[in-house]
Structure 1
Amino acid sequence: MRILFLLTMISPILLGIVKADPAVLPHPLPDHPRLLVAGGDWEKIRRQIEADPLSGKVFALVRENADRMLDQPPVERTLVGRRLLDVSRLALERITALAMVAQITGDERYSSRAIEEMLAVIKFSDWNPSHFLDVAEMSLAVAIGYDWLYDKLTPDQRDEIAKALVDKGIRPSFVTPEPFFVQGTNNWNQVCHAGLSAAAIAVADREPALAEKVLERAIRYLPNAAESYAPDGAFLEGPMYWDYGTMFHVVLAASLERLTGSTQGVADYPGFAASADYMQQVVSPIGRYFCYSDCRSNRGMQLPLFWFARHFHRPDWIAANAGIINAQPEKHDGKPYNGGRLFPLALLWLLPSDGAPAAHEPAPLRWYARGRGPLVVFRSAFGDPNAFYFAIKGGSPSLSHAHMDAGSFNLTADGVEWATDLGMQEYESLEKLQIPLWDRKGGRWGVFRLGPESHSIPRFNGARPLVDGDAIFQKVQLEGKRPFALLDLTPLYQDQVAQAERGVMVLNDKVVLIQDEWKGRGQETDYSWQFMTRADVQVDGRKVHLRKDGKSLDLLVLDESPVTIKVEKAEELMQPFDAPNPDVKRVNIHLKTASDAAGRLRVLAVPGSSGTVEPPALQPLKDWK
C-alpha cells in the first residue's frame, strides 16, 4: 500500500504530466530577418515612407545620419571610467541606422559600412561584462546587424558574428554569482534582458536551447522591474529613466510579438500602458521635464511612445514626437538630428496597425498617480506655453536613482519655470574623483544636485531627510475650484519632529498655496522652506519678488510668525566636485518654534498674470476638503 501511495505521488513527474513553461521559440523558426521585422516589412516601410509625410521625414533624418556615418572609422574599445557604454551606444546607433537604410534603399554602401562596424566590435576582447549595460546594448546592436543584413554576410562572417553574440553577449550572463540585473528591480533588468533576448532571437537557429533559456529567463524576471510602473504609471526612477528602461522594454515586447505573434504578457503589467500618460504629465507647458531623480531637463524624443501608440491604438500619444520631427529643417548644416540611437525603429512602429484608434478621454488637467514614486500634477491647459503648471512628488530617497526631493515641486507659469529641479550630475564627473555616488547611506547625499540642499523642500534643524523614509499622499482632491494634495513627510523627518506635512492647493488654476505644518519633538525646531529658482530675486519684507524673461512671480508669506528670508547663490552651497549651476538661487524662509510646539508656514505663489488675488483664509491641513 505504501509503495502504491508513493508511486501515485510521483507518477505525474515520471510520466511527464506536470506542465512545464511553454516554449517561447516558435517551431519552425522563421528565417532571417526575424528580429523586430519580417522580410515583407521592408516593402511595407518603403510604401509608408512614400505615402505618410511623418514616416518620410523620419526616414530622411535617419538617412542623413547614415550618410554621415559612411566615412567615420569604426568604434574602438575605449572605456570611460568603468564604462564601455558610450562605445556600445555609438555602435548601436550606427548599425541600426545603416542596416535600416541599407534595407530600404538597397544601397550596399550602407550594408558594407554596418558590417565593418560589426566586425570591429566582435574583435573586442569583451563587451565589458563588469558593467553589463555595455554588453546589453552592444548585443542589441550586433543582433540587429546580423539579423537584418544576414543575406549580405559571408558564411564566415555569420559564424564569427554569431559566435561573438553567444560568447561575448549571452554566456557572460550565465555565471556565478548571478549578475544582479537578472532578478533586479530597476532599468538594468529591462535593458539587459532586452539586449540578450535580441541576441538569442538572432542566433536561435544555431543555439536553440540557449536562446530558449534566455527568453524564458527574461519573461520570468521582467515583472520585477515592471513593478516600477504600478499601479498608475508613475515610473519610480523618473522621466529620463522611463525613457531608457521603457525603450528596451518595448524592444523586447516588439521582438517577442514579431517572433511569436504575442508580447508574451510583457506589455500587460499594471501601470505599463498608463505610463504613456505619465510622460505627458511630467512635461511642463514649456517642454521641460519635472526634472526629479536622476534626470536631464529638456524633453527629447520619447521613442517608446511610437510603439505604445501602435500597440495600444493611441496615435495621440505621438503628437509631441511628431512636432519635434516636423520642426527639423530639410537639411542640416552641422550634425543632423538623430532622435536617439534607436530612432530608426520609429519607422517600424509608424506602420498602420490593425484596428481603429482606441476611445479615450483627453489628457486630464489634474492628475494623480499612486505608487512608490507618487505624483500629483495640476495645470490650466495643454498646448499653451503660458499655462499654469504645478507638480509635486512624494516617494523615498532609497529608490533607484532617487534624490532627496520628496515634497519638491515644479512651478511653471507665464512661460517661465519659477521653481526648478536641477536634475542629475553626470556620473563620470563624480566617479573619476572617487565620490561615492551610489552610497545611499552617506556619500551620495553630499552631491549638491542629489542631496537636500538643492530641492524645494521643507527642512528641520538643517538635517537631511531619512534615507529610508517614504512620503505618501494622504489625501488628493482633483475636483472643484480649489484642488489640493496633502503629503505626509513625517517618515522622512521623524528623527527631528513628531509630525511634518505639506499641503498644496491651487486656486482658480492661477496661483498655488503651499502650506507646511509640523510638531516639534523635544527640542526647539529650526524650520526652513526652500525654493530653487533661476529667476532674479528681491526680498521686500514678507514678500519675495521674482523676475525672469520680462515676467514676474511673487511669493507671499501669509502667516504673522516672525520669519527670516534670505537668498543664497548656489555656488555658496556647493563643493568643488559639484557641477556648475549658473544663475541658480535658493530662497530660504526660516522660522523657529519652541520645543514640542506646533508650527505652520503658508506661502502663496502668485504669477504676474494672475492680477490681484485674495489670500485664502487660514485653514489647518486636517480641515482641507
Structure 2
Amino acid sequence: MPKDLSAFNTMSFWLHSSHANDATFMIIMESKHDPKVNSYYSKKIQVNWTGWKKVEFRLRSFGKARQPAGWDKIGQMRFTASGWNQRPEDESIWVLDDLQFTYDPKPYRPKIDVKKYVAGPAREDFLAKLRPEHPRLVLLDKDLPRIKRFIAEDPKGKAWYAAIQSKAGQLYRRPPRKHELPDGRRLLSISRDEVSRMYYWGFMYRLEGDRKWLDRAWQEIQAVVAFKDWNPSHYLDTAEMMHAMAIGYDWFYHGFTEEQRKVLRDGIWQHGLRLSYAAYMGLEAEGQQHWYRVTNNWNFVCNGGSAMAAMALLDELPEECTEVLYNAYQFIQIPMHHFEPDGAWWEGIGYWGYSMRYLLTHLRGMETAFGTDFGMVEGLKGKGFSMSGDFPIYLTTPLGGIFNFADSGSGGGSYRHWAFYYLAARYQNPLYLHFQDQRARGTVDDLIYYEPFESDLAIQDVPLDKYFRATEVVTARSSWTDPNALFLGVKSGKNGIAHAHQDLGSFIFYGLGEKWVQDMGTEGQTYQSHKHHLSHSQFYRIREEGHNTLVFDPGKGYSQDRKGESKITRFETSPGDVFAIADLTDPYRKYVTSAKRGYRLFDQRRVLLVQDEIQTKKETELWWFAHGTTGTVMTLKEGGREAIMERNGKLCHAYLLSPAGATFEIMNARPLPTSPDPEIQQQNKNVKKLAVHLPKTQNVTISVLMVPRFAFDPESKPLIHLAPLDSWKLAVDTAPRLDKLMVNGTPLSGFSPNVFTYSVQLPPETTGVPTMAAMTTGAKVSVQQPTTFPGTTSVTVTGKAKASTVYQVRFVPTVIPGSTQKPHVKSKPVTVRGLTLSASHDDGNIPKNVLDGNPETRWSASGEKEWIGFDFGKPRRIEAVRMAWYSGANRSTSFQIETSADGKTWQLARKANSSGKTADLETYALGKTQSTRYLRVVCFGNTSNLWNSITELDFIPPLGK
C-alpha cells in the first residue's frame, strides 16, 4: 500500500463475515514522529452482518493516538482483533477484498447512526421554541419567588441558603484563576472551579441584586476568555469551561453591557463552540475530535457542555448553535444503554455522579430554554435511566459512604447528589427524594432542583438487596435505618472497560459501624500516565492482589484476563437470608476449568459466608485476600484457623472453615514479591489484609465465615453445615414475626417485622438498659435483657410449629469511640510531643493526627473559620509552618496563620492558599520570625467544599529543636 495517503480522503473494502455477532476489529495506520513513541491513526469496525458488505468511510473519521506524523507518513497498516479493549471471537471468520483509497469531493459529515430512545426535534425546532429572553438556562426568573419563600419559611431553606452564602463568599475572596495545567495535562480543576464560581455568584446576584457579584464575575470572565485556549487536547476541560461561561453569560446577561457580552460570546465561540461545531461537522480543528460519540462519561460532559453554550448563544449564532444542539441531542443517547436494565452505571458510582452533573443540566437547560426536553425524560420512562437513582442508593453503605469499586475514590464520607431531586421530580420516586433529603447540605443545585411532594414511603420496608444486571453488582444489608447494619457489596462484571480495576469477584463488608473489608480505592497515579508512562498493571490498587479476590500463580502480569467477564449466576433473597453466586471461570480461564464464588448473609443477616469452589487445570499456587481498613488490628487464633479484626471496641471474627490444613496469614497491603512495585504508587500505610495461601492446590473449596460483634457481647460462632454452591437455597421461612417492639413504652423507631437487628443509642453515662416489650398474635414471645449497659436484648418469637425468629436490639453509647460516622463535635485539648493541641471542632478526625507522622490520618472540620491551635507552653521562635492537606493535589484550601501571647488576643501572621498541586508538606513562611507561645491555623474551606483537612503539620525550626 502507499506510504503517502494525503491525496485521498476515503477508504473502502468489501468484508465477508461468517457470523453477525457484533465482534470488532481495529484498523491501525502507524504514523510516527518519533520511532520510540507509538503514534497512529485508528478506527474500530463492528461487524453485525453475515455475507459480503462494502465498508466505506472517510479518513477523517479515524481517531488519533498520541501525535501521528500525518497521512503522508504512514509506516504500515494493520488489521487486528485483539488489544485495544478487544477480545478475539473464536467463531468469527472474516474475508477482506478490494481495498481502495480514493478521493470523494463531497463535504464530510459524520453519520449520526446511533440507537435512539427518542427521535428528538428537527433542527428548526430549536430556534422556533427558544425562549428569547435571558436568563433561560437552568434557573428562570419565575422560579425565584418559590426559592425565596422556601428560604424565608423553611428551616432547611434557611440553612441551605446560609451554606450557599458562605461558599459564595469563600469563592469571592479568591483571586481570578490563571491558565495552568497542574498535572501537566489537564486544565480541569480550573474549569470546575469556574463552574462553581459562576453558579454561586450568579445565584447570589439573582437573589440579592448586589453588583459586587456581577463585578467579581466579570473580573473572572475577563481572565478566562483571555486564556490562550481552554485546553481542547483534553476536551473535558473545554466542555466544563463552556458550561461555566454559558451560565455566566446567561445569569449575568442583564448586568453586562453589550460590549461585555460580545467579549464573552467571542470567547465561548473561539475557545469552545467553534471546536464542538467543527467536530460535529467533520471539519479540521485543534484538539480532540471524537468525544461526541464515545460511550462513557465524556459523552455526557462534552456534549452537555457544548449544548449549554449553544443554548446560551443560539439567537446570536443560530446556524452553528443549531447544529451543535441537534448533534448533541442525538449523541447523548449513545451511552444511555449502559443504564440498562436496572439503572447501574458501568464506570462505578464516582462517574455516575460526574455523568449526571452534565447530562441532567443539559436536559434541564432544554426545559428552561425551550420549554421542553423534546420528549427525552418521557421517552426514557421505564428504561434503565429512569431507575438510575437506585444505583448509588443501594451502593451507599450504612455509614453513608459508598461501595467504591472502579475509580470511585476512598468510599468514605456521606454520599449526596442533587441529581436525586431531579430524578425524584421527573419520575415521582419518593425513595430518591428521601435519600437526598437525609444528606443534602445546601448547594445552589439543591435549591434549584428541590421539588418536594407527599409520599407514604417507609424506608424500613424498602427491599434490602439489589442485583444490578449487566454491570453485575450486588448489594445486601440488614437494615436501611441502622448505622450498625451489616452491608455486603459484590463486584462482578467486565474487566478492561473504562475505569475498571482487575476486581472481578471482589467484595466489601461492613458491620457495627465499621468497615471490616474494604476496597482500597482509586490509584491516583493511573491519571498521570502522561508523566510516568506506566501501565495500569503496575499498580497494586488496580491488580487482583489489591482487591478482595483470588490470585493464581502470581507474577508481573494480571491473574485475571484483561477482558474477562464474570456473571452473577444466582441471586436469591428472603428477609433473613440472601445470597449471590458469581461465575469467575472466564476471567481465570488460563488457570481453571471452573471457578465460582458464593456470598451469603444469613442467621437473620448477622453473619457473612464467602465460599470459593475452584477446579484448576493443573496444580497451581493460589492466594485469597481480604483487605482491612486503615488502623484495624488483626490477630490470629486457633493456629491460624481464626482471625480477629478489631476496631474501636468492636470485633469481627473470621473463621477459615475450609480447606483443612490451611491457615490465615496477616500481611501488609503491599505487592507480592513477584509483582511490580513502582515507588510512586500509594503505599497503603497501616493497612493489613487477611490472606490464605495455598502453594500447591488443584481442586479446592475455600470457605470463610465473618461474624462481627460488639466487645460487650459474647463470642458466638454459628453452627453451619457447608454445602456446595450448586445446592445453596433459601430456607423455607415459616417462623412468626413480631407486630411491634416497644422501648420503655415507646414504639421502636424504624421497626419492620422483616428487619431483625436494631441499634438504640443512649448517652454514654446511661447505667441501666431500657425495658423492652414485644407484641404479636398467635405466637409465644420471650425477652432476654442484659444486666448492664451497653448490651443486647434478644426477643424470640416462636410459633406453634416451633419455628422461631430472633430479634436483637443493641443498646450502645451515643458516640462509639472512633466510629467513622461521628457528629461534628468540639475538640478536646490533648498534649502531644510536648505541646497542647486543640481545635474548634472535628468530625472524629482529631487534632493530634497532624503530628502522628502518618499522611493517611488527618484533622478535619467543616465550615469557615474552623481552626486548629497549638500551645507550646512557653514562647517559641517560629519562622514558618509546614502543612500537608488532604486531597491537596486536587483542591486548594484558604487559611490564615495567627499568633498570640496569651491565647486570647490574636494577630495575623500570614494569609495564604495551599497550592492545590500536592498532598505533600508545603512551607508557609511567616514573613518575619515570630516568638509566640500560641499559634493557630484558621481555615475557610477549599475549592471543592467547606471542609478543612490537614494530614501533617510541622514548624520551622521543627518540633524538638
Tell me if TM exceeds 0.5.
Answer: yes
Contact kept? 1:243, 1:303, Cα under 8 Å: no
2:588 is equivalent to residue 493 of structure 1: yes
Q: Give 5+ residue unaligned stretches, structure 1.
A: 1-18, 327-338, 437-442
The residue aligned with 1:529 is 624
Q: Percent identity?
A: 29
The residue aligned with 1:538 is 635
Contact kept? 2:657, 2:704, Cα under 8 Å: yes
> What amino acid sits opposite 1:557 in the alignment?
L
Alignment deviations for residues 153-203 of structure 1 (CA, whole Å, 9 cap, x no partner) = 111111111122122111212245772321000000011111111000000
The residue aligned with 2:448 is 348
Contact kept? 2:130, 2:370, Cα under 8 Å: no
Matches within 5 A, 1:134-149: 134-149=237-252
How far is the alpha carbon of 1:585 from its aligned partner? 1.3
The residue aligned with 1:10 is none
How far is the alpha carbon of 1:479 from its aligned partner? 2.3
Q: In the aligned structure 2, how far is the partner of 1:132 from the partner of 1:477?
A: 44
Contact kept? 2:627, 2:690, Cα under 8 Å: yes
> What amino acid sits opposite 1:566 in the alignment?
E
Contact kept? 2:129, 2:370, Cα under 8 Å: no
The residue aligned with 1:605 is 706
The residue aligned with 1:476 is 571
Q: In the aligned structure 1, how far is the partner of 2:671 from the partner of 2:583?
A: 30
How far is the alpha carbon of 1:39 from its aligned partner? 2.6
Query: Cα–Cα, structure 1 residues 524 and 506, in superposed 2: closer, same or farther, change >3 Å?
Result: same
The residue aligned with 1:563 is 662
Aligned match for 2:605, one of 504, 509, 529: 509
Q: What SS does structure 1 have at the residue aligned with 2:389? A: helix
The residue aligned with 2:387 is 274
Query: Cα–Cα, structure 1 residues 590 and 137, in superposed 2: closer, same or farther, change >3 Å?
Result: same
How far is the alpha carbon of 1:593 from its aligned partner? 5.5
Query: Cα–Cα, structure 1 residues 265 and 500, in superposed 2: closer, same or farther, change >3 Å?
Result: farther
How far is the alpha carbon of 1:562 from its aligned partner? 2.4
Q: Which range is displaced more, 166-175 or 496-505?
A: 166-175
Q: In the aligned structure 1, how far is the partner of 2:667 from the partner of 2:361?
A: 46
Higher percent of residues as strand: 2
The residue aligned with 1:222 is 332
> What amino acid sits opposite 1:624 in the alignment?
W
Query: Cα–Cα, structure 1 residues 618 and 50, in superposed 2: closer, same or farther, change >3 Å?
Result: same
Q: In the aligned structure 2, how far is the partner of 1:186 from the partner of 1:464?
A: 26
The residue aligned with 1:450 is 542
The residue aligned with 1:194 is 304
2:647 is equivalent to residue 552 of structure 1: no
Q: In the aligned structure 2, how far is the partner of 1:21 from the partner of 1:433?
A: 44
How far is the alpha carbon of 1:103 from its aligned partner? 0.3
> What amino acid sits opposite 2:573 in the alignment?
L
How far is the alpha carbon of 1:98 from its aligned partner? 0.3
Could you list the structure 1 runs, at least 4 aligned residues long, displaced by more than 4 angstroms after superposition: 355-362, 571-574
How far is the alpha carbon of 1:321 from its aligned partner? 3.8
Query: Cα–Cα, structure 1 residues 433 and 568, in superposed 2: closer, same or farther, change >3 Å?
Result: farther
Aligned match for 1:417, one of 507, 512, 515: 515
The residue aligned with 1:291 is 404
The residue aligned with 1:249 is 359
> What amino acid sits opposite 2:634 in the alignment?
V
The residue aligned with 2:420 is 305
Query: Cα–Cα, structure 1 residues 545 and 451, in superposed 2: closer, same or farther, change >3 Å?
Result: same
Q: In the aligned structure 2, how far is the partner of 1:322 from the partner of 1:114?
A: 31
The residue aligned with 2:260 is 157
Q: What SS does structure 1 have at the residue aligned with 2:482? A: coil
How far is the alpha carbon of 1:498 from its aligned partner? 1.0
The residue aligned with 2:136 is 34
The residue aligned with 1:58 is 160
Q: What SS does structure 2 have at the residue aligned with 1:273? A: helix
Query: Cα–Cα, structure 1 residues 426 and 303, in superposed 2: closer, same or farther, change >3 Å?
Result: farther
How far is the alpha carbon of 1:602 from its aligned partner? 0.9
Query: Cα–Cα, structure 1 residues 255 and 20, in superposed 2: closer, same or farther, change >3 Å?
Result: closer
Matches within 5 A, 1:424-443: 424-427=522-525, 430-431=528-529, 433-436=531-534, 443=535
Q: In the aligned structure 1, how far is the partner of 2:351 from the partner of 2:527?
A: 19
Contact kept? 1:563, 1:589, Cα under 8 Å: yes
Aligned match for 1:22, one of 100, 117, 122: 122
2:182 is equivalent to residue 85 of structure 1: no
Alignment deviations for residues 78-104 of structure 1 (CA, whole Å, 9 cap, x no partner) = 112100001111111111100110000
Alignment deviations for residues 331-386 of structure 1 (CA, whole Å, 9 cap, x no partner) = xxxxxxxx7xxx3122111245xx76597985321211111x21111111012111
Alignment deviations for residues 424-448 of structure 1 (CA, whole Å, 9 cap, x no partner) = 0224774364143xxxxxx102111
Q: Give 5+ residue unaligned stretches, structure 2.
A: 1-118, 730-961
Contact kept? 1:170, 1:199, Cα under 8 Å: yes
Higher percent of residues as helix: 1
What count of residue pairs does the alignment treat as equivalent?
580
Q: In the aligned structure 2, how far is the partner of 1:183 from the partner of 1:360?
A: 41
Query: Cα–Cα, structure 1 residues 415 and 360, in superposed 2: closer, same or farther, change >3 Å?
Result: closer
Query: Cα–Cα, structure 1 residues 429 and 39, in superposed 2: closer, same or farther, change >3 Å?
Result: closer
The residue aligned with 1:617 is 721
Q: Which range is displaced more, 424-433 or 500-509?
A: 424-433
> What amino acid sits opposite 1:476 in the alignment?
F
Query: Cα–Cα, structure 1 residues 51 and 158, in superposed 2: closer, same or farther, change >3 Å?
Result: same
Contact kept? 2:525, 2:681, Cα under 8 Å: no
Q: What SS does structure 2 have at the residue aligned with 1:254? A: helix
Contact kept? 2:656, 2:703, Cα under 8 Å: yes
Q: In the aligned structure 2, how far is the partner of 1:72 from the partner of 1:553?
A: 47
Alignment deviations for residues 489-538 of structure 1 (CA, whole Å, 9 cap, x no partner) = 011000111111101111121111111011111x2122221101122111
The residue aligned with 2:109 is none
Q: What SS does structure 2 have at the residue aligned with 1:404? A: coil
Contact kept? 2:653, 2:708, Cα under 8 Å: yes
Contact kept? 2:622, 2:693, Cα under 8 Å: yes
Q: In the aligned structure 1, how far is the partner of 2:328 from the partner of 2:680?
A: 39
Query: Cα–Cα, structure 1 residues 406 and 264, in superposed 2: closer, same or farther, change >3 Å?
Result: farther
Contact kept? 1:531, 1:587, Cα under 8 Å: yes
The residue aligned with 1:334 is none
The residue aligned with 2:172 is 70
How far is the alpha carbon of 1:571 from its aligned partner? 4.2
Contact kept? 2:396, 2:415, Cα under 8 Å: no
Alignment deviations for residues 556-600 of structure 1 (CA, whole Å, 9 cap, x no partner) = 111243214321112465531112322211211023565xx5221
Q: In the aligned structure 2, how far is the partner of 1:312 from the partner of 1:282?
A: 20
Query: Cα–Cα, structure 1 residues 428 and 164, in superposed 2: closer, same or farther, change >3 Å?
Result: farther
Q: In the aligned structure 2, how far is the partner of 1:216 from the partner of 1:166?
A: 17
How far is the alpha carbon of 1:27 from its aligned partner? 1.9
Q: In the aligned structure 2, how far is the partner of 1:561 from the partner of 1:433?
A: 48
Query: Cα–Cα, structure 1 residues 460 and 20, in superposed 2: closer, same or farther, change >3 Å?
Result: closer
The residue aligned with 1:439 is none
The residue aligned with 2:691 is 588
Contact kept? 1:45, 1:104, Cα under 8 Å: no
Query: Cα–Cα, structure 1 residues 84 and 285, in superposed 2: closer, same or farther, change >3 Å?
Result: same
Contact kept? 1:277, 1:363, Cα under 8 Å: no
Q: In the aligned structure 2, how far is the partner of 1:133 from the partner of 1:265?
A: 27
Q: In the aligned structure 2, how far is the partner of 1:560 from the partner of 1:400?
A: 36
Alignment deviations for residues 457-490 of structure 1 (CA, whole Å, 9 cap, x no partner) = 0222225211110110011111253321110001
Q: TM-score, normalised by structure 2?
A: 0.58
Alignment deviations for residues 90-142 of structure 1 (CA, whole Å, 9 cap, x no partner) = 11111110011000001111111112211210111110000001011100110
Q: What SS does structure 1 have at the residue aligned with 2:587? A: helix
Q: In the aligned structure 1, how far is the partner of 2:371 from the partner of 2:253?
A: 22
Query: Cα–Cα, structure 1 residues 429 and 258, in superposed 2: closer, same or farther, change >3 Å?
Result: closer
How far is the alpha carbon of 1:57 from its aligned partner? 1.9
Contact kept? 1:191, 1:245, Cα under 8 Å: yes
The residue aligned with 2:918 is none
The residue aligned with 2:232 is 129
